[in-house]
Amino acid sequence: MSLDHPFADAPAFGHTIAVAPGVLWLRMPLPFALDHVNLWLIEDGAGWAVVDTSVPDRRSRELWQAVFDGPMAGRPITRLLVTHFHPDHIGLAAWLQRRFNVPLETTLGEWLYGRMLSLDSGEAFTKASLRFYRGAGFDDVLLDLVRQRGNAYAAHTRHIPADCLRIRDGETLRIGWRGWRVTVGEGHSPEMACLWCEEAGLLISGDQILPSISPNISIWPSEPEADHLTEFLASLERFAELPADTLVLPSHGLPFRGLRQRVAQLAEHHAERLVETLDACAAPITAHELLARLFPRPLDSHQMFFALGESLAHLHCLRSRGQVSRETDAGGVHRYRRG
């Protein structure tokens, strides 16, 4: 059974579509293979609450200016909410904060992680990255790429606000005439703030639940022993409890109905990936060798790092379940084996 998409087409970049009374869908371009991000404007008294911001580049700023003058009709931003720390979501938060003199509102985990990464560009960062990717099985050529890449986050997202207004799981935010309950998702990012409005039947899902792709679930050098896939699968259950007719407003793709079906699809996708990973571990295998099996298509360097992180996420999940073991050789390379 396919998902129900009540809107056949997305708005043009910098334009909006009303998805419910007082809620506008805004789309912005991204300079990646995933070429867009969805943002949300919610009427809030004399102004607008904004959910997510897009990347910090000139084109996004110019499009935002057109939105200020057009759909927002000159009314100010009254609240600045960010679902998570990734550049397409928090990238322009500092710029919008300065312009409208409003605090950044997000979970503490997302603000701390983004703030930390935006400032962490020293030698210790490079050493930790080299140790991590060597352990994953990168050869000298790929390790040189790690050195050249450095802190890719800080290179593009330099300005994270120096303070934030913390929002928490289960808290209800009063925006305009409606309440929006914060529901935290994990796995894709540390503490993603999704927003559920029971009155309107809307869920702003961030990257936690997307209609046509699985959000990237990765292990990164800053938390090398994490088990983010187990966290993601557990947090999916929180969303399966919401009403079946909920209109999901995702950060990528089209709004859709069929939340419970999509939750089941995402869980099934990762169950299949875990079987593939377990089969690949019949003989000792590195994460980099596994990557080639799970992602046989050509990948650019940006995609390769995400694919490596996702390969590790599945290995770590199986290791947590006791289904694979890990051995480390004298060079620090980790190999995983079934049993």
Tell me the pLDDT tens digit for each residue of 160-188: 999 999 999 999 999 999 999 999 999 99
Look at the chain and report how many structural domains it folds into.
1
Q: What integer pLDDT is reported at residue 1 of this predicted model?
A: 62
Residue stretches of the chain with pLDDT short of 50: none
Q: How far apart are CA 194 and CA 184, in angstroms?
A: 6
Instruction: Report yes or no on 292 lying in a domain.
Output: no
Instruction: Report yes or no on 274 lying in a domain.
Output: yes
Instruction: Report yes or no on 6 lying in a domain.
Output: no
**110, 248, 220: which is closest to 169 by C-alpha?**
110
Q: What is the DSSP letter of 77?
A: E
Give the CATH number, domain containing residue 132: 3.60.15.10
Instruction: Report yes or no on 298 lying in a domain.
Output: no
Q: What integer pLDDT is reported at residue 122 of this predicted model?
A: 82
Instruction: Report yes or no on 69 lying in a domain.
Output: yes
Provide the Cα torsion 183, 187, 191, 196; round to 10°: -20
Instruction: Report yes or no on 95 lying in a domain.
Output: yes
Instruction: Report yes or no on 180 lying in a domain.
Output: yes
With beta carbons less than 8 A apart as the criterion, state whether 153 and 118 touch: yes
Q: How far apart are CA 118 and CA 133, in angstroms?
A: 20
Print the domain residue range for 188: 16-278
Q: How far apart are CA 320 and CA 317, in angstroms?
A: 5
Instruction: Report yes or no on 67 lying in a domain.
Output: yes
